[in-house]
Structure 1
Amino acid sequence: MCGRYALALRPSEVRQQLERSQMPVEEAPNDDDVRQSYNFAPGYHGLVYRAEAESNKDTKYKLQSMQWGLVPFWTKRNPDYGIKLKTINCRDDSLVEDCGMWTTMKKKKRCIIVAQGFYEWQKKNGGKEKIPHFVKRQDGQLMCFAGLWDRVQFEGKTRALCVSGADSDRLR
């Protein structure tokens, strides 16, 4: 998945579609609390589906708004989002080994990024011009992308952030 995706459905509509697909949702944000867009870009808040295991209780599944772009938990100060929030994708081959910034997240902080589709850029005129090409499921159902998330606290604020991982070469 590249740097843009679409989700123009309200959380209640996403919840209904997930539940029809046997994906239970015990908790979800209000419809007006999450942005809907056909052009989600890094830094925007979008919906993710994730498990939350409570001690000695069953796992609870919820929809949650998270900011797209990863800031590791050990960050001490608010990054300049225009410059430093560049980690939006995780290559699957970087998850194989237990090293690097993904190690702690890949075991317990996995999520599903919910989308109606995403954009791949087609190069025209020898690469001088890029045209967005929208990729979606033929049946119109939601696409679900594997994601990793983390929660970071700096300057008294706690933020949940996510990063996606997908191999667009398989689509060709």
Structure 2
Amino acid sequence: MYKTYYISPIGRILILTDTTALLGLWLEGQKYYGAGYDLEQAQEGETAVSRRVSTWLDAYFKGENPAIDEIPLAPQVTEFRSKVLTVLQKIPYGQTATYSDILRELQAEYGKIGSARAVGGAIGHNPISLLIPCHRIVGSDGKLTGYAGGLDKKAFLLKLETRQGLQ
């Protein structure tokens, strides 16, 4: 494993990769930082994957909507959480969805699966922030709710996406 850091407008971001994929991306101080990886064992250094992630982050923080197609993602999560993360990736840039929307999408795709609470837990434990857009989840009333990175950062990210690069 390799770790490198990216300095963003919302603070330092840890990028964790192996030689083939992105394993994690966390905002410093984020709840569940490191997601159970032994970060002390990760070597400091860039990989081709972390360079692609940094390029993606550069574009994203400029207000662009960069594609993640060229970044292989390998979150180490349960099958249920993997399904939730797959559904999160379908939320379009600059738009939001509710926990109920995610649960409905999961049920439409996989049948009876989990509960709203389980969906919330999976979203909260997302190990690849930003690229898997858990910040786009809002409460049923449209208000900002729980974000492992902090509600101030969530508000910043949603505002950034709705500006679409206009400064």
Same fold (TM over 0.5): no
The structure whose Rg is larger is: 1
Task: Pick the structure with more strand per residue.
Answer: 1
Task: Pick the structure with more helix per residue.
Answer: 2
TM-score, normalization by structure 1: 0.30
TM-score, normalization by structure 2: 0.31
